[in-house]
Amino acid sequence: MKIVILDGYVENPGDLSWDDLAALGELTVYDRTSLTDEQEIIDRIGDAEIVFTNKTPISRHVIDACPNLKFISMLATGYNVVDYASAREKGIPLSNVPTYGTASVSQFAIALLLEVCHHVAHHDRAVHEGRWETSADWCFWDYPLIELAGKTMGIIGFGRIGQQTGRIAKALGMKILAHDSRPNDTGREIGEYVDLDTLLRESDVVALHCPLFPETKGIINRDTLAKMKPTAILLNNSRGPLVVEQDLADALNEGTIYAAAVDVVDTEPIRGDNPLLTAKNCLITPHISWAPKESRQRIMDCSIENVKAFLAGSPIHVVNE
């Protein structure tokens, strides 16, 4: 079968190998494909039976224009870029990679938090710029330094990643509150399930680890921010649209909350007019929580298994059954 990868560069900029996937069919890899030019997407899929995408949208029109298409697989967990209902109508299974990023994304959430608490990169630059050398004192700091032991982290979305973030935070001496539509015993071993208002009111740190659904879009907004402590820190390395960005920028500038650290924004790459770029105490990184080599290798391995299972007649990790 013909296999096409529409946007393979971010998954594999050269430090991994497509060879095991190429052994399963006639493989064509495009580093990038237009996100807006549907004709380019259609032309690149062509008569391929198997297509991989990460962020390149596959709409109903694209699916209709590619009648040979039999299987779509994500190079990611999220699948909102594919019209999965249309694929289901055509009998095309859509598979994702469900669990590759648990370790890396939870680790990065804590990295964001520690950077807000200590501003390590800023103080490193200050030392290299000569400020310690010329300091009148034997040490200095430009931001409040925050100790996490004894403080409370509230995690919205307490699945695999949320729970792993909770375990790490608990190891730092933090109390864990969780809000999730599906409480479970594993979660109860880590923290206490509470309603959203309680979590917002009592947490010193609020971490977002929920998927993007209609009911979670904009879950952090002017009203929910107003329920948080003025000393609170918000973390988001889940999905950008979970946050109403202008509301968050206003809250930071007005002192409604203390700080935010985000690895995702509503439109990516970030636009120059994004209000978070000029907000006070807002740390932004370019959607890299998922990207350690080990994590990307798991995507590669799962993607190969997805194709093998489809070719064997028993697709796995199907999200549009």
List 89, 147, 254, 268, catalytic entry: 268
268 has catalytic annotation: yes
Reduced to 3 states (helix: H, G, I; strand: E, B; else coil), residue 233 is strand
Tokens 């296999």 -> residue? 3
Terminal-to-terminal C-alpha distance of the chain: 23
Among the listed residues 188, 197, 115, 189, the one whose alpha carbon sits nearest the alpha carbon of residue 156: 197
Helix residue spans in 129-244 (DSSP H): 160-171, 185-190, 196-202, 222-226
Among the listed residues 80, 76, 109, the one whose alpha carbon sits nearest the alpha carbon of residue 298: 76
Residue type, 313: G
Among the listed residues 110, 105, 35, the one whose alpha carbon sits nearest the alpha carbon of residue 76: 105
Question: What tokens appear for 247 in the block?
Answer: 């509301």
List 119, 239, 298, 317, catalytic entry: 239
209 has catalytic annotation: no
38 has catalytic annotation: no
**What CA dihedral angle connects 90, 92, 98 and 100, to 10 degrees?**
-140
Catalytic residue ranges: 239, 268, 287
